[in-house]
Amino acid sequence: MAHNNPEQDLNSTGPMDVTRLAPPAGSCIAVLGGCGGIGMALVAACLENGLEVAVMDLPQSLAERSFPDGVRQIPLDARNADQVEAAYRQLAQAWPHLDGLVNLAGYTGEFLPMDELPLEDIDDVWSGNLRATAMSCRCALPLLRAAPRGGAIVNTSSGLARAARPGYGPYSAAKAGIEALTRTLANENGPAVRVNAVSPGGIDTAFMRGGFGRGGREEGPPLRLKLDQYIPLVPLGRVGVPEDVAGPILFLLSDAARYISGAVLEITGGA
């Protein structure tokens, strides 16, 4: 059911500032999983545009990253419902509303066929990707509905949601679920809240080396992706970098994307 608020200027058809493809300065943006490579690039881009930012991530990840003064840091394990709910209660005490939410949390597991994976490993990947995203959206929606100009969510899918590869069964299924969740939330919460997703291909971050929260770092050869085989398949001729994803996320959060909801934007260099 759509949530309407007559006091909000939602889906305005008035003049658009096409010189600004980011939310207005002062907008409040929460980033779940902000310590990863894409998250750090997004936080930097938000600050450059004068946005207020809150980063929610694992305590050990927050301890290993350095953020400028003014960036709110909220430790949590996104698989834990109580911790997610507590994080949003803390956020609500600081901000009266939320203009944007970006869900970047996620990881994959052992590189094994589905029938060789322990069930607890499958459940863990589903919990850390699909369930974490769903819980984050669920807790954020009241704050997003209160945004004067309407709120926006950007979830994170993957090219593996559609082009499945051996060894990525739980991860691919979770990301496909996030795309379905995105479309459902877009239908349930418009016009007060727009909900979209980005679907990156190969992006050179710690994710390629196990994930930042699991000890992976930005340097070194990828654990699974063979760049000499992958890059020739990319029409734009290179592997992606975090800024290639941060820009489209900012756009989807902005008024320039005011008539986009329920969409999944592929960021693959044409692959």
CATH number at residue 137: 3.40.50.720
Lowest mean pLDDT among 17-26, 50-59, 149-158: 17-26
Establish whether 259 is a catalytic residue.
no
Q: Give residue 76's region: left, alpha or beta (phi > 0; psi -120 to 50).
A: beta
User: pLDDT tens across 257-267, in order?
Assistant: 999 999 999 99
| End-to-end Cα distance, the chain | 37
> What's the pLDDT score for residue 1?
46
Residue 20 lies in a domain: no
* DSSP structure class, residue 165: -
The number of domains in the chain is: 1
**How far, in Å, are 88, 101, 181 from residue 262 at the CA level?**
24, 15, 9
Residue tagged active-site, from 168, 171, 230, 259:
171
User: Which secondary structure element, helix H or strand E, spans residue 83, and what is its range?
Assistant: helix 81-94
Task: Name the 3-class secondary structure at 30.
Answer: strand
Closest CA to 124 of 104, 110, 139: 110
Lowest mean per-residue pLDDT among 52-56, 76-80, 162-166: 162-166
pLDDT digits (tens, 9 = 90+) for 181-198: 999 999 999 999 999 999
Model pLDDT for residues 173-185, shown as the tens digit of each residue: 999 999 999 999 9
pTM of the complete model:
0.89
Domain interval for residue 120: 28-267
Structural domain includes residue 13: no
